[in-house]
A and B are shown apart, each in its own frame.
Chain A
């Protein structure tokens, strides 16, 4: 580690950039929360009125509730499925690297495009899933016209896209474990389950925590897939928090209230991330 003036020359441009493009908008947004701002009309100071509106806004509570349920369900399922698939792949297998390369394709898919592909796959009259269900069981599922099944469709797409990510990272974690421990464990003739519970899981747990954290952060942002697959419908049954905030701000141009909604989301994500803060500091120490 050297100490030279030039280090500021390297670092400062990016710091100024972040201050200008993140911190300034955040401060601006904070000031908006105290105003009633509508397009084309002068802003009016309303104190904490925008915050008070949250309490009685049942639509907001609905969005918040379904978003929290969505985050909890998808993150849990993705991490569990990712772990299981990683364990399956953490064995000798021919063609493993090819299979792994194929499995990671969903991760980088444009989420909006995934939503529209979902529209063709979940199509109720003659879409592939329903036509298979029709020929096997003689029944079909009202994927996008029924609130419950619309949710299932969103969850399935999200799990489809992000389980491979959890799988990939957990597999990398598994592969970095030293082999010797296993040799000793097998000599002790412990059962597979016991080896997993007592050795593998505790050792790969730090990696699982990272995956959990990253998925948690990203899940709160959900917008694209819902926008393209259901548009928040039927009715407002799948109108997740980001979509609700977006519409409040940029469809109804209620900028002040939308800023309050944004800050509420930021507060929740920050609380969720803070639970992991010790671990984050360890990683980047």
Chain B
């Protein structure tokens, strides 16, 4: 008995050590970015090892203040916010009703399943395949370097999330409530708007967060379709190197500014991430 217990204790310690190493690995990059952004520029390369703030150097918000005082930087943040909000609104406005239709009605000529897969196939398409036609179309429409161009593109590529994930959420709602409403003389649209939609609200919030995060992170289209005024934050970040050399303190500040919002969103909707990112194929 004693031998078994001792072995399991060793195993337990070993388990926690492993988990510790994994967590260190997973968080180190973010930690390093935050720490570098808090260092005074002069100490970026002189403070070594883990660069523990307060112990090895005195943290300062100077880099953040400088970064946020640059007009270009604030402009890029604003562009990112606007594009994310409007692209998500369009994707939801088009996608949620479609998800509802696929969950509640039967389509005959093209089956529901095939329609769902058709929406999904959008995510299979590598963006670089359509970046050239998009560039030429936007040039013809005189939409290059506008937020509108990015809103249209991002709405398109986040639409599958809205359709497929809400479809599953509506499928899991009991249909009886809507049927009862229909008996009471409620129109189909009212049943959707007043009954199904509020019941699916948690999933819808999660899908909104996913659409915002994906639009926020999108880089290839933003890089290709903007040049000056409509630059989103990732594109602005990508320009940093050329203009300022290896000024790591700014680079780290911008990187953390860029990934802050999506990381916070990820934490907020963590219960829905598995379901969301696997399009409902795995229930988390």
A residues adjacent to B (C-beta < 8 A): 1-4, 6-7, 9-11, 13-15, 17-18, 21-22, 24-26, 28-29, 32, 85, 88-89, 91, 93, 99-114, 116-121, 123, 125-126, 128, 131-132, 160, 164-165, 168-169, 172-173, 176, 207, 210-211, 214, 217, 220-221, 223-224, 227-228, 241-242, 245-246, 249-250, 255, 258-259, 262-263, 265-266, 269-270, 273, 280-281, 283-285
Contact = CB atoms under 8 A, between A and B. Distances in A.
B54 interface: no
A249 B132 contact: yes
B251 A119 contact: yes
A259 B129 CA distance: 7
Residue with the highest number of chain B CB atoms closer than 10 Å, among A85, A88, A125, A172: A172
A118 B107 CA distance: 49
A128 B273 contact: no
Interface in B24-50: 25-30, 32-33, 36, 45, 48-50
A217 B127 CA distance: 11
B98 A22 contact: no
Contacts of B120: 280, 284
A27 to B, nearest CB: 8
A59 to B, nearest CB: 16
B277 interface: yes
A105 B94 contact: no
A21 B129 contact: no
Question: Which size class do B's interface residues fall under?
Answer: 35 or more
Contacts of B115: 11
7 contacts: A14-B98, A25-B133, A26-B130, A91-B15, A131-B48, A255-B136, A262-B130
A284 B160 CA distance: 14
The B interface, classified by DSSP as helix, strand, loop or mixed, is helix
Contacts of B73: none
Interface stretch (B64-72, B199-207, B213-221): B213-221
A121 B255 contact: no
Given A101-B270, A116-B237, A25 B128 contact: no
Contacts of A101: 267, 270
Contact of B254 (A2, A14, A116, A172): A116
Nearest to B217: A110
Interface in B137-196: 137, 152-153, 155-156, 159, 163-164, 188-189, 192
B159 A111 contact: no
Contacts of B265: 108
A139 to B, nearest CB: 16
A285 B167 CA distance: 12
A242 B131 CA distance: 10
A112 B129 CA distance: 20
A128 B210 CA distance: 32
Given A99-B23, A113-B258, 12 more contacts: A14-B119, A25-B130, A104-B266, A108-B217, A108-B259, A108-B265, A112-B217, A116-B251, A117-B29, A259-B133, A262-B132, A266-B125
B97 A13 contact: yes
A250 B124 contact: no
A181 B259 CA distance: 42
B189 A105 contact: no
